[in-house]
Amino acid sequence: MMRQYELVERVSRYNPNTDEALLNKAYVYAMQKHGSQTRASGDPYFSHPLEVAAILTDMKLDDATVAVALLHDTIEDTDATRAEIDKLFGEEIGKLVDGLTKIKRLDLESRKAKQAENFRKLLLAIADDVRVLLVKLADRLHNMRTLHHMPEHKRGRIAEETMEIYAPLAGRMGMQEVREELEDISFETLYPEAFETIKERLGQLREKNQSLIADIETDLQERLAARGITAEVSGREKRPYSIFRKMQQKSLGFEQLSDIYGFRIIVTTVEACYRVLGVVHTAWPCVPGRFKDYISTPKQNDYRSIHTTVVGPKRQRVELQVRTYAMHRINENGIAAHALYKDGVTGGRDISQLSTDSRAYAWLRSTIDMLSQGDTPEEFLEHTKLELFHDQVFCFTPKGRLIALPKGATPIDFAYAVHTDIGNTCVGCKVNGHITSLVTELNNGDEVEVVRSQAQTPPPAWENIAVTGKARAAIRRATRASAKKQYGGLGKHILERAFERCEKHFVEAELEPYLAHFDKETTQDLIVAVGRGEVSASSVLTTLYPDAETDGIAERAVEVLPAGSASEGWFEVSEGASVKFKIPEAGNESANSLPIRGLTNSLPVRFAPNGGAVPGDRIVGILSPDVGITIYPIQSPDLKEFDDQPDRWLDVRWDIDPDAPERFPAQISVFAVNEPGSLATITKVISDCSGNIDNLKMIRQASDFHEMLIDLEVWDLKHLNRILNHLRSKPNVSKAVRVNG
């Protein structure tokens, strides 16, 4: 364990004006507070804050940051209080330790769904002072270095969180060294086999290419020296995680990865960087598309360097990075290096000065500002597109609640993510104020408003549209429940009708004694089975009344089509089987079917009495004990009446045979000027458009205009709209609209 004087020495090496008393006081205080506490490794707990402080001295940070590192776990893990720390070390340090305490509490609940929220809180916790983040990253780095001491079941979660939040954040802050080490340890923990394989291969390659790195280093050095350029050249293997990521991104095998080696050439001036580039490109052919000049255009995290890939002396592709010493310091240590570079060796630096120099810090600052000012969500997201969010989209409820979803998620997933009830009653949505299809893929920043109807049950086909497990499971559950309800309603009706024909009265309770016979547990199960067509109504009837005359009663209420003949997800009963029903016309047993799928053959069907329904309308069937099934266009206001009776709603749709077109009923209301020939004009327009008039009723006849209701027969919605448009184009027609459609 590092001694007190050793720590002070480390700091005074880069900061001669260091406040030794402060460091000593923090050292003693933290050591006493942690007392006999130990870590998972068995080491005294105090060794941890001490190591964190050491990491920060490597980054050459100021006294306050080093002191905070020593104190960072005292409030959370010992009897130390914020007030006490304020009193002993001043409010600046107290505030920093407090920020770290807040972040530590966050770590406890880092589940996937909470990531966005956690990330937000993390940024807010570091809002006042970026040093909180620096200490936090050093804290995490030491915890990762000692992760193997943790119980195995805890390692995965910590490594995952590191990979998803802390490593990208370190990268975003330009701290490449910290990022790479965090990534490699997480990688080794999360994918031990992949890590070992890559390490082994790297070892083999090292064996084979033994002197390759040294040879290229020498070669480069000599060529540069010949041109009078003094440069520091160093070669290295890429890090295991960086190789793994490349293999994944490009779907390449290890052998196909050509640039395992990277070389850094560090020079004193920017001008020298470009001269180096000239030397390199003259000596070896460069690989097209690999040249990048981050000196003229720095990365958002302040990274500056020239990148190029060449085919080197041994036909080996090598990546070269050319930079100055000043750039290198910032490339490796990001905002931490910035702090030092800006303020030289004086302690107590003013963090706000960073903002003028550091793009990474400016990014952090503006992100935090937006969070605290509650700026627009779009802007917030635009600025927080970190690597950790790449496979996620972030959307908002109209009240501004953030909902994180996997990429590819639809408004259906969104609805279920908000609440299962909202998903189950979702019938439509508005995205950014516009009515949008429920199958639309959501984008970052979208505001999604879910349109709900209590009458809705989620269609089974949604299961294939939703991408979240939560939505899928809920849809499956709801469909099963609703299918059961629907079949229950159908079954009951079928039984009632069958009993009626034999002049019996159907009473559910009377099924009770026969449940075992049908191998059912409840009377409802039996009724559902009848609805599904698994049990025929006549068999129920003859079981209860062996003498009953069952001729003329359909053996099966429904005809189950073989799997595959049904269209996608439509009124699905179970694995692949969907149900097709045929309907006899009222009073006529010869099954003359309506071209609508999803109906039972034992129930009469009619179109909505007010307004009808035509192909092109989205339709639903409403089951009524007295009239059978009535088909309504989904937008019909008459449907409101059934809103609270979801079990009466049947999912139906058109099944038109294009070779045998039929006409369908629709009703229109027309206001026309009361003048000679007006009515004739209207009927002529309709017949010119080849519409049939079934009935015409004068509703009002005033001295200046008529209102009339016309029952039409049309081919489909397009045909109906054509008629309406032609009517509206006539000067004597003031209004022509569809009724309830």
Is 73 an interacting residue with respect to Mn ion (CB under 5 A)?
A: yes
Contacts of 99 by beta carbon, 8 Å cutoff, 6+ apart? 125, 126, 128, 129, 132
Nearer to Mn ion, 161 or 413 (CB): 161
Cβ closest to Mn ion, residue 142 vs residue 653: 142
Token pair of 193, please?
């086999």
Minimum Å gap between C-beta 244 and Mn ion is 28
Tell me: does residue 319 bind Mn ion (CB under 5 A).
Answer: no
CA 186, CA 189: separation in Å to the nearest integer?
5
Q: Where are the alpha helices (DSSP H) in 108-175?
A: 115-125, 130-145, 152-161, 167-172
Q: CA 423, CA 320: separation in Å to the nearest integer?
A: 53
Q: Which stretch binds Mn ion (CB under 5 A): 17-25, 132-140, 597-605, 652-660?
A: 132-140
For residue 651, state whether it binds Mn ion (rule: CB under 5 A).
no
- Shortest reach from residue 150's CB to Mn ion, in Å: 13
Active site annotation includes 109: no
Calpha distance 302→587 (Å, rounded): 82
Report angle CA 78, 83, 84 to the nearest 5 degrees: 60
CB of 82 or CB of 299, closer to Mn ion: 82
Residue closer to Mn ion, measured from CB, 73 or 302:
73
Cα–Cα distance measured from residue 664 to residue 173, given in angstroms and rounded to the nearest whole number = 67
Nearer to Mn ion, 99 or 615 (CB): 99
What is the closest distance, in whole angstroms, from the C-beta atom of residue 152 to Mn ion in the complex? 20
The answer to whether 51 is a known catalytic residue is: no
Taking 3-state DSSP, the helix, strand and coil percentages for the chain, each rounded to the nearest 5, stand at: 50, 15, 35
What's the CA gap between 84 and 718, in Å, rounded? Answer: 78
Stretch of 138-146, 496-504, 690-698, 710-718 lying at the interface with Mn ion (CB under 5 A): 138-146
270 CB-side CA count, 13 A: 6
Quote the least distance from Cβ 132 to Mn ion, whole Å.
13
- Residues in binding contact with Mn ion, number by CB under 5 A: 2
Please identify, using beta-carbon distances, which residue of 49 and 621 lies nearer to Mn ion.
49
C-alpha 445/C-alpha 454 separation (Å) is 28
Tell me the residue nearest to Mn ion as measured from the CB.
Answer: 139
Q: Taking CB under 5 A as the criterion, which residues in 220-249 touch Mn ion?
A: none
**Binding piece for Mn ion, criterion CB under 5 A, among 29-37, 72-80, 220-228, 474-482:** 72-80
Residue number, 52 or 276, with CB nearest to Mn ion = 52
Q: If you ran DSSP here, which 8-state letter would residue 691 be given? A: P
**Residue 711 carries which side chain, given as an amino acid letter?**
D
**Residue 139 Cβ vs Mn ion, minimum distance, rounded to whole Å:** 4
Q: Which amino acid would we find at residue 705? A: F
- Binding mask 586-625 toward Mn ion (x if CB under 5 A, else -) reads ----------------------------------------
Write down the least CB distance from residue 55 to Mn ion, Å. Answer: 11
Q: Assess 139 for contact with Mn ion (CB under 5 A).
A: yes
Q: Which of 76, 107, 217, 378 is catalytic?
A: 76
- Least Å distance, CB 459 to Mn ion, is 51
CA distance 733 to 335: 74
Q: What are phi and psi of 4, to 5 degrees?
A: -55, -50
CB of 1 to Mn ion, least distance (A): 16
Closer of 78 and 366 to Mn ion (Cβ) = 78
Least distance (Å) between residue 338 CB and Mn ion:
24
- Residues contacting 507, CB < 8 A, separation 6+: none
Secondary structure (DSSP) of 274-312: HHHHHHHHHHSPBPTT--EETTTS--TT----EEEEEE-
Tell me which stretch binds Mn ion (CB under 5 A): 137-145, 201-209, 396-404, 728-736: 137-145
Nearer residue to Mn ion within complex by CB, 77 or 332: 77
Instruction: Record the tokens describing residue 520, joined without a space.
Output: 């059912």
Q: Which stretch binds Mn ion (CB under 5 A): 69-77, 117-125, 267-275, 482-490?
A: 69-77
Contacts 24+ apart (CB under 8 A), 191-197: 191/244, 194/244, 195/240, 195/244, 197/254
> Which one of 136-144, 593-601, 708-716, 725-733 is the stretch in contact with Mn ion (CB under 5 A)?
136-144
Q: Report the DSSP beta bridge partners of residue 701.
A: 706
CB atoms within 10 A of CB 552: 10
Q: Does 302 help bind Mn ion (rule: CB under 5 A)?
A: no
List the catalytic residue out of 9, 20, 77, 92. Answer: 77
Stretch that binds Mn ion, among 134-142, 440-448, 469-477, 541-549 (CB under 5 A): 134-142
Site for Mn ion, rule CB under 5 A: 73, 139
Q: Which active-site residues does the annotation give?
A: 76-77
